[in-house]
Amino acid sequence: MKPANPRILTINGGSSSIKFALFGVGESLQRIIEGGIERIGFPDATLSVKGVNLSDNFSRIVAAPDHKAGVDVLMDWFEKWDGRNSLTAVGHRVVHGGPKYSKPQRITAEMLEDLHKFSSFDPEHMPEEIQLIEAFLRRFPNLPQVACFDTAFHHDLPRVAKMLPIPRHYEAQGVRRYGFHGLSYEFLMGELARLEGSKAAQGRVILAHLGSGASLAAVHNGKSMDTSMSFTPTAGVPMGTRSGDLDPGLVWYLSCTERLDAKKFNEMVNFQSGLLGISETSSDMHDLLKNETTDVRAAEAVALFCYQVKKWIGAFAAALGGLDTLVFSAGIGENSSLVRSTICEGLGFLGIELEDKQNLANAGMISTATSRVSVRVIRTDEEWMIAKTLCRVLELE
């Protein structure tokens, strides 16, 4: 029996943050309140909330030395604000489903045990996400929880795109290309179908999720054909603090010359590289664009990012046998007209032509009327996608 007036909470845990949103379930999903805790592990960790009612909006410093403490702060606040028994279910973004989980499903003791095993696949995200699930389980033992896997969208990649060119026996251990940002990509494909129709969504599409974490996906007939991230989210294009693809010989070289062991190398490529590593000042594209005329390091970081994204677009257009639609999304993709124009410059041979005024305005359609490729800016919404998925799994709609 469906509960009356279901209310569902979505949890999206990052390496130093927890985002949440509360939805009411009716004829459609209604976002009631949203927010999150940023800078977990730092003295200035901040809980921010934004609601339909202005009286619900606030931002304050909280004690959140780790994700367990952070989610306790969040749940304490939520119980005060909305009461202990107001929730129907919780949906979690789980970065890695490993080789076993390709569809969203209700979290069980067996799944939790599996997720602990998969933690080594993505040690930067999985342990914290498991902490969040277990914290809710302790506080609300009877509340249904659903895992929405960020790898699921790419689960059926063509075999040639899945395989990694290392000794074959590692594949039996689950070592292959998985791809990430799947919840974002699923949302974007739904929006593309809504905006342009099913024919466009079934065409040759490149999705560019460009934020602090960045990746691209090649999609045809609504299915992922290839993606820039690989076994871990560190691969692909340079990101805020992640390196993206590197020469694997660097591991040996730096171990010999710098005595850099595997742990330190992992820290370097995940937290000290990308835009931060090149600029030596910031991992934030907004900061770099502001300083690129006065700081050559900032300018080079921006240029490298745009150049690498452009290369992936070219590669994926080749893999798809052409291109019908290019979609920019996430923080950089949605908000930086300069980054978009720099990426698209020189891609006229693919049929990409931008309309400058539309691009500067961050309009939904930024290609010219004569462009052979439709270029769009679509705001992604992972929280909405988690909520929609949870409703489907628990049959709440």
Instruction: Report the catalytic residues.
Output: 150
* Segment holding 125, helix H or strand E: none
Both tokens of 68, joined, read 């367990």
Both tokens of 330, joined, read 């996430």
Q: Own/partner pairs for 360-364, CB < 8 Å, 24+ apart?
A: 361/337, 362/334, 362/335, 362/337, 364/195
* Beta strand 374-377 pairing with 204-210: unpaired
Using a 10 angstrom Cβ sphere, with 0-12 exposed, 13-18 middle and 19 or more buried, the burial of residue 339 is: buried
Nearest 10 degrees: CA dihedral of 250, 254, 260, 263?
A: 0
Yes or no: say if 221 and 202 are a contact pair by the CB < 8 Å rule. yes
Using a 10 angstrom Cβ sphere, with 0-12 exposed, 13-18 middle and 19 or more buried, the burial of residue 301 is: buried
